[in-house]
A and B are shown apart, each in its own frame.
Chain A
Amino acid sequence: MKKELGIFILLIVLCIIVSIINPNFLLSINLQNLARQIGAFGIFSIGLGLVIITGGIELSVGSMMALLGVLLSMTLTEYGYGAAVAVLASIGLAMGLGLGHGLLITRLNMQPFIVTLCGLLFYRGLARFVTDDETKGFGAADYESLRFIANGNLFGVPMPFVLLLVIAAITWLVLHRSVYGRYLFATGRNSEAARYAGIDTKRIITLTYVISGALTAISGIIFAFYTNSVSPANHGNAYELYGIAAAVLGGCSLRGGEGSVVGILIGTALLQVLRNLVNLLGIPSSLDFAVMGAVILIGVMADQIFTERRNRRQVALMRELSAREAK
């Protein structure tokens, strides 16, 4: 919990500063926009976070979204399948790809970095090939219910955010309150030890990539309907980095075995608030990434310094206590 607290304070301080400089930040329309972004980015970040907790990495997220996005558009508009079929096919395909990653990593003992890096390259190329490098869209056709689920508002709350809350709640239960969650942390912390303790680590890890695939598909559908058009060459480019950043900011360790759902949510929110504030404060777009980098660095640095100082104080206190007892 301590890890999330620092980043949470940073998020709150940032929000307060922005809303003092520009009260428009708190307009309901802006909060809606922000919630929509947090929802869309948060869902796949949770998947990525789970993978990171196992000690793995998933780099193919952005490319997978491009591939799923163009296929979704093609199944809906060109082949004329119903929305339910297209969505299920999309999620199914992504889970299949995740299964492929998981099997390659666990059965052939390949590095997650390599497997998913190849996915990043391969899916991007495939997306461009199947579309002949043409942008795919959903036109003016309605797909009313799907559009609502992906991008509508439920009592004024953007659906992506609602979906994120539901998914986060389920993931929280699974990760922090179930056997699977304990196995996941154990596997991430020390997979050898976990295996000797009788945990089927291969299955756990594979399953995680499958879940990450499914969550990527859900985010992918949301993004596809958010932009209403999917350019195979650019869609979702480098989005895996937003996921990885959100997870690590939220306390996931890239070495595995550490992390929490709440942390990932806070990390995602922080990244999206940073993107939002660049526009609201009229900071030149060119400084966009610089602002993001600087704020995160300063925040994490401050957190680190405070934690270390507190630890040192605690150690000193302990020493003093034991010295007193010795007397």
Chain B
Amino acid sequence: MRPENSFRPMILLCVITLLLAGCQQGIHSGGGGVGAGGAGGKHKLAFVTNNASDFWTIARKGTEKAAAEIPGIEVEFRIPSDGTAAEQQRVIDDLLAKGIHGIAISPVDPVNQTQMLNRASSGALVVTQDSDAPQSNRVCYIGTDNVAAGRQAGELLKEALPQGGKIMVFVGVLDAANAQQRYQGLKEALNGSNVQIIDVRTDNTDRVRAKSNAADTLVNNPDIAGMVGLWSYNGPAILSAVKEANKVDKVKIVAFDEEDPTLAGIKEGAIYATVVQQPFEFGYRSMELMAKYLNGDKSVVPATKQIFVPTIAVKRADVDAFQQKINQLRGRS
């Protein structure tokens, strides 16, 4: 080996160390503004999402409002990059290592994450939001009752299709708890009615696939009367497939959540209704509850250990007011 080669790994090591040190510095100074007062008895709270989406942008506004209004808390908002249980575990471990006091998390895989949540709850106050893990030691759940949300969608469909007819259901993956619960609620509501579910089509959160699923359904079932999108992007995907097939008048669409194309579709009458959750409330109320609980007020947790934030049905008549409200929350004018 030539002598200069032996230096290379050393130099590389030095560079990497420096880089990492630099990053560390960046994080510290970034958090310094908030963290400076943290040692003096402030409650450090964290909000952990399941993946990255607009939904969480609104929840974030809720946590920010809580951080501004409620004295004695500081709030950290964490978005696991790939929406896996492993990634969430890493985020939780990091937070615990930093000495977090309360965590509001939306577990990706509640059943198998029970242990992880229990471990976290031995070091901090753990609240679930958006998706519950009832088997775990979490103190409380704040979020949507997805079975009820599914039922609401079912009622909307019956209203839109008084004559009944065949409908198709679309969702990203059916093994997600909220997808299952919404689907269950939908089936409950439609049970015994003349609205009949043909099948469920999944797309693995690929929007291109979501749209081609809808397009293929229109090809294969010319008499389809309704289409339901259980996840936020399914609404826009269905809408654009239906529009391209020129079947806006023939197919009634019920969507979930409030993506812009969904709201635009409701406004022009192409989508019958959408069932929206209130992520802002998830953010605000989870922080409020944890702050009160950590201050010793345990009465904030109801006996059922579940606080349901109701879903709202947005139809053509309500869409303008709703859009205004949501734009405000997203910080758009």
Contacts and interface: CB of A to CB of B under 8 A. Distances in A.
A24 B219 contact: yes
Given A135-B259, A137-B260, A234-B205, A227 B53 contact: no
A27 interface: yes
Interface string A241-276: 000000000000000000000000000000000011
Interface size class of A (residues with CB under 8 A): 35 or more
Contacts of A14: none
Given A24-B220, A275-B212, A282-B199, A229 B207 contact: yes
A135 B220 contact: no
B79 A133 contact: yes
B240 A133 contact: no
Interface size class of B (residues with CB under 8 A): 35 or more
Interface in B190-222: 199-203, 205-213, 215-220
B52 interface: yes
B174 interface: yes
Interface string A21-41: 010100101100100010010
A128 interface: yes
A226 B208 contact: yes
Contacts of A22: 220
Given A226-B211, A285-B200, A139 B260 contact: yes
A276 B218 CA distance: 12
Contacts of A40: 208
Nearest to A40: B208
A229 B237 CA distance: 9
A165 B203 CA distance: 28
Contacts of B213: 279, 285
Interface in A216-252: 223, 226-229, 231-235, 237
A37 B201 contact: no
Contacts of B220: 22, 24, 279-280, 282
A27 B212 CA distance: 15
A176 to B, nearest CB: 30
A131 to B, nearest CB: 9
Interface in A276-291: 276, 279-280, 282, 284-286, 288
Interface in B142-160: none
B81 A128 contact: yes
Interface in B212-256: 212-213, 215-220, 233, 236-237, 240, 245
Interface in B260-283: 260-261, 264
A271 B261 CA distance: 29
Contacts of A228: 236, 240, 261
A140 interface: yes
A40 B215 CA distance: 16
Contacts of A144: none
B261 A137 contact: yes
B216 A33 contact: yes
A33 B215 contact: yes
Contacts, number: 100
Contacts of A135: 53-54, 233, 259
Interface of B is mostly: helix
Contacts of A140: 264
A233 B81 CA distance: 8
Contacts of B260: 137, 139, 229
B323 interface: no
A132 interface: yes
Contact of B219 (A29, A235, A285): A29
B53 A223 contact: no
A229 B261 contact: yes
B57 interface: yes
A33 B236 contact: no
B47 interface: no
A276 B219 CA distance: 11
A134 interface: yes
B51 interface: yes
B183 interface: no
A15 to B, nearest CB: 15
Given A128-B52, A233-B51, A227 B207 contact: yes
Contacts of B206: 234, 237
B56 A285 contact: no
Nearest to A31: B219
A275 B199 contact: no
B212 A132 contact: no
Contacts of A128: 52, 81
Interface string B76-114: 000101010000000000000000000000000000000
A227 B211 contact: yes
Contacts of A235: 207
Contact of A133 (B52, B209, B215): B52
B233 A229 contact: yes
Interface in B165-203: 174, 199-203
Query: Which of A29, A223, A234: most chain B CB closer than 10 A?
Result: A234
Contacts of A24: 219-220
A164 to B, nearest CB: 16
B57 A133 contact: yes
A214 to B, nearest CB: 20
B173 to A, nearest CB: 9
B174 A286 contact: yes
A286 B218 CA distance: 20
Contacts of B52: 128, 133, 232-233
7 contacts: A29-B218, A227-B208, A227-B210, A227-B211, A280-B216, A285-B174, A288-B202
